[in-house]
Structure 1
């Protein structure tokens, strides 16, 4: 699901909010989670409490986190509590202010904060090897199968996603003047009603909404058409990374185990688990989006979960393990961000030392497929 979505502002980071948070971060104390080092053999590690900002509502996008709760992986890792906070939220401002310690964010939001505000943030791993953006069209309509098919078309684009859409045009040498951009929100009705030829969507959300409604759809996936970058990233501040490497290693290990369960468990069982955590979030917050959206559609939830797996699991993760980011993908990510107007260096955006260490020490964790 989205790393950019309705009410999410992940394609752009609000400069004032980030600047304010950055100022707070320069004077804030390090977060409250325990700095305890792993003990000798037989000793229990106590990492205390950690807060994690989710990018979106508690749906299938966080199935791995739900399994980490359900099967005790966070407990085994030494956490007294892992507080998962519903979005929508890029997590940037909260990371910088110390309100949360980890954010499940995206490369565009983190990269924009670094490029525009010199924010001291790092991506330490990524759930999605491929970003879920697509230009959605109807198979019996515009049927947009290549970037050049965008020329002369009316494309519905959300304001928060304008920069990323511009990156798609830039990466494919398309003059923006040759495409008519129609402002839309995240409801794909304008596409179904024929008001636009294409619609900027998520492979894991709006594309499924239209399909479930009975339409045959065509997807022009950004990741396969010149704009490859990681999404659903584990992001932290540089200070927190420097001071809590062992804690983060424990946390990511629990996350790997949780997402391994997503791949190894039956889809119906996973949907049931997702509904449980979604419903709990809805009950806990009367004004949260879980409550606003109402009950999850189990059919669409299952479809979303399967669509996510195609973004998470690649030949590289099969070889190197979940959440790893190859050098090539790091470079592709910063190149994609540059096309959107955010210039960052690989070393400024990424530090995957911890995830690499986890697999070097525990190579068996690479085997996530059933």
Structure 2
């Protein structure tokens, strides 16, 4: 399984599924959780090369691969119901509370897929990059405290918490609430795997649901797994990771998932995502991007999992 980032709290459900033996109980002899990162190979590339059965990604990355490269990929579920992308500024410098506030400002954006998503945010709000200055940055948000940038593209569950821990007051503009209601941490697989190993993928989803049920229920234990075991080499901070685990639950759990189950997507959410992709410049249909039938079958065959 190719993760979308380093082994931190974002993958608490996978850590539980592995450490508690849910993958083993689902029939897997061994599951390798492959760390991602800024310089890592994309989940799509790993899945396409069959070096990973499943990749954690986002519609904003998977959809262009399908449209532009004819990649035979499908999304079969979504961990986050709302994407965590935001622009973070700080109250002590140049606080921004709306997309319009970014006009004339310096906004730090990481190169690659984040640039495309940021441009989609602007387009969805009647703006373009000519309305502000895009500054290429890495993944350290402290540049917003020095004045190098006025705003910084971040995750709601990460950099704002880091800035707060350093004594600053973060102010955020959530992409999901400003025209880009995309989901995130989506499960990307090959169409071929759906066609030939459907039961394998359903077993995987069952283990994932059990793992994330535990993670959602216990942020402190999630953080401990990330800090002390799976992400030990990252020297993560336990307090910060616990705060992030608590915060990300708001993105994972919704009224709809309480009713339908973790990872499920309502038609409204699917349609909103397709519209958001169009704002980014990617024209794709729901049928081309998603196959949520496996998840439907898992919950139909295991109704007790829906209580998660």
TM range (shorter): over 0.9
Once residues 86 and 198 of structure 2 are traced to their aligned partners in structure 1, the CA distance between those partners, rounded to angstroms, is: 35
- Segments of 4+ moved more than 3 angstroms: none
- The answer to whether the 8 A contact 1:63-1:270 is kept is yes
SS in 2 for 1:131: coil
Q: In the alignment, which of 81, 100, 104 is matched to residue 129 of structure 1?
A: 81
2:267 maps to 327
Q: In the alignment, which of 97, 107, 115 is matched to residue 59 of structure 2?
A: 107
For 1:174-323, what aligned pairs fall within 5 Å after superposition?
174-265=127-218, 267-279=219-231, 282=233, 290=234, 295-323=235-263
1:98 maps to 50
Q: Deviations over 1:113-153 (max 9, x none)?
A: 01210110000001011111000011233221111111222
Q: Deviations over 1:162-218 (max 9, x none)?
A: 111110111011243221212222111221012221111111222222111110111
CA apart distance, 1:361 = 2.1
Aligned length: 304
1:119 maps to 71
Once residues 153 and 94 of structure 1 are traced to their aligned partners in structure 2, the CA distance between those partners, rounded to angstroms, is: 37
Once residues 101 and 342 of structure 1 are traced to their aligned partners in structure 2, the CA distance between those partners, rounded to angstroms, is: 25
Once residues 276 and 298 of structure 1 are traced to their aligned partners in structure 2, the CA distance between those partners, rounded to angstroms, is: 9
1:35 maps to none
Deviates more, 1:119-128 or 1:77-86: 77-86
1:349 maps to 289
1:57 maps to 6
SS in 2 for 1:79: coil
SS in 2 for 1:325: coil
Between 1 and 2, higher relative CO (CA 8 Å, sep ≥ 6) is seen in 2
* TM-score normalised by the chain length of structure 2: 0.95
- The answer to whether the 8 A contact 1:90-1:104 is kept is no
SS in 1 for 2:33: strand
**Structure 2, gaps ≥5 residues long:** none
CA apart distance, 1:279 = 4.7
Q: Deviations over 1:45-98 (max 9, x none)?
A: xxxxxxx11111111111111111122211211111111111124311111111
CA apart distance, 1:319 = 1.4
SS in 1 for 2:281: coil
* TM-score normalised by the chain length of structure 1: 0.79
2:96 maps to 144
1:365 maps to 305
- The answer to whether the 8 A contact 1:316-1:326 is kept is yes
**Structure 1, gaps ≥5 residues long:** 1-51, 283-289
2:276 maps to 336
Residues 1:120 and 1:279: Cα distance change in structure 2 (over 3 Å): closer
